[in-house]
Chains A and B, each alone.
Chain A
Amino acid sequence: MNCIEARNLFEAFWRRTLAADRRLAVVEHLKSCAGCDRSFRALALSAPALWMEPGELRAAEPARRAAGRAAGYTINWAGARPRFWLGGALAASMLVAAGLAAYLAVRTPVESFDEIASPDVTASPIDTSTDVISASYGLGPAG
């Protein structure tokens, strides 16, 4: 797989619409190509807003936090040390978290990507012109 092919598949890779072998090919290419790896990681910072459905995350958040509280600690996502709840607060927070999770699960239903995606989209190139693709990813002229 060359760089243009790999970069054309970044979106499909992110949206999980690639067949397993193509997915693996992208992963292998990123392992061996520092430029494409940098490009993927740079794209990853904006991809959640561009390539994920609004509301897709919100449905996952309450359940995750409820699970965290049920385990007896709050999770600092920056990787700091966990703090531990007192026993009485734990029971109350579990009830609140479970209720909130149920409420938000109803209010913000997850829409599966399959519902939204066109059935014949597999890996759609970001741009139709390979010259533009090459230029936008810092590669030399295509071909």
Chain B
Amino acid sequence: MATVHLLGPDRVQAAASDENLVDEVLAGHKAAFAELASRYHRQAERLCRRFFRDAEIVRDLVQESLSRAFIGLASYRAEMPVARWLRTIVINVCYDELRRQRRRPELLVADFSGAESGWLELVSYATPERIVEAAEQRREATDLAHRLLETLRPEDRLVLVLKESQELSVAEIATQIGWSEAKVKIRAFRARRALRKQAEVLLKEALRR
């Protein structure tokens, strides 16, 4: 693998491959990590935002992920692309945070804000196209959706988000998390079943009102 030894002009760093940058950092040129971090900072942030809405928490988790990556660079093996290796770190950091946070109890319509109740009513009665359109315009739709996800067990939520939001395959998720594919499938199934069950209860209650 070609190695760039000189940290010349910025364009040299910018043109360097991820693996070259890793080599540079391991050779003691720690500034090369800044280039690596800048390449993947945004993706790390987007992934964290799939799990957490709080901007402060997202910032902390991205920082934690990059710190772990920097410290763990010596363990990086070139068989895995750097991007995927970094993603594994971000996923583990998010999973740690999911387990650290308290799981929310099941939602009750009685606890909903006026806006959330309105959204629930719309989902109960509107056409499918109208529901999709309204979801894109209403903060309460996203808020309620996240609150629903927060009622899931951390491992179920992790798998569901990676499968549905990140569109990773079962095999990819299994590799990233270090679980068997059977376990990933079971967790995804349980997560969908739990969400569906809760959603149906909420919608039934909305129809009754």
User: Chain A: residues with CB nearer than 8 A to chain B?
Assistant: 11, 13-14, 16, 26-27, 30, 38-58, 60-61, 64, 76-80, 118, 121, 124, 126-129, 132, 135-137
Report the bound CA distance from A61 to B27 in whole Å: 48
A51 close to B165 (CB less than 8 A): yes
Chain A minimum-CB-distance residue to B113: A78
A27 close to B128 (CB less than 8 A): yes
> Which of A42, A52, A56 has the most chain B CB within a 10 Å cutoff?
A42
Chain A minimum-CB-distance residue to B121: A79
What's the interface size class on B, roughly?
35 or more
Given contacts A41-B123, A54-B46, A57-B137, contact A121 B167 (CB under 8 A): yes
> Which of A44, A76, A80 has the most chain B CB within a 10 Å cutoff?
A44
Report the bound CA distance from A135 to B195 in whole Å: 14
Chain B minimum-CB-distance residue to A51: B164
User: Chain B: residues with CB nearer than 8 A to chain A?
Assistant: 46, 49-50, 53, 113-115, 117-121, 123-124, 127-129, 131-132, 135-142, 144-146, 148-149, 160-161, 163-165, 167, 169-170, 185, 188-189, 192-193, 195-196, 199-200, 202-203
Chain B minimum-CB-distance residue to A16: B132
State how many angstroms separate the Cβ of A118 from the closest Cβ of chain B.
Answer: 8
Of A43, A78, A129, the residue contacting B117 (CB under 8 A) is: A78
B164 close to A11 (CB less than 8 A): yes
4 additional A-B residue pairs with CB within 8 Å, beyond A46-B199, A49-B142, A78-B117: A13-B128, A45-B195, A79-B118, A132-B185
Given contacts A44-B131, A60-B136, A121-B167, contact A50 B185 (CB under 8 A): no
Chain A minimum-CB-distance residue to B199: A42
Contacts of A64 in B (CB 8 A): 137
B118 close to A41 (CB less than 8 A): no
Given contacts A27-B129, A38-B200, contact A57 B142 (CB under 8 A): yes
Of A56, A79, A118, A129, the residue contacting B136 (CB under 8 A) is: A56
Report the bound CA distance from A11 to B199 in whole Å: 17
B117 close to A13 (CB less than 8 A): no
Of A51, A61, A118, A127, the residue contacting B139 (CB under 8 A) is: A61
Report the bound CA distance from A60 to B192 in whole Å: 29
A78 close to B115 (CB less than 8 A): yes
Chain A minimum-CB-distance residue to B133: A16
A41 close to B131 (CB less than 8 A): yes
A52 close to B142 (CB less than 8 A): yes
Contacts of B137 in A (CB 8 A): 57, 60, 64
Chain B minimum-CB-distance residue to A40: B128
State how many angstroms separate the Cβ of A46 from the closest Cβ of chain B.
Answer: 5
State how many angstroms separate the Cβ of A82 from the closest Cβ of chain B.
Answer: 14
A54 close to B50 (CB less than 8 A): yes
Report the bound CA distance from A17 to B69 in whole Å: 36
Contacts of B140 in A (CB 8 A): 77
State how many angstroms separate the Cβ of A25 from the closest Cβ of chain B.
Answer: 12
Query: What are 14 sample pairs from A and B whose C-beta atoms fall under 8 A apart?
Result: A26-B128, A41-B203, A42-B199, A43-B196, A43-B199, A45-B120, A45-B145, A51-B165, A79-B118, A118-B167, A127-B170, A127-B188, A128-B169, A129-B185
A77 close to B128 (CB less than 8 A): no
Contacts of B192 in A (CB 8 A): 126, 136
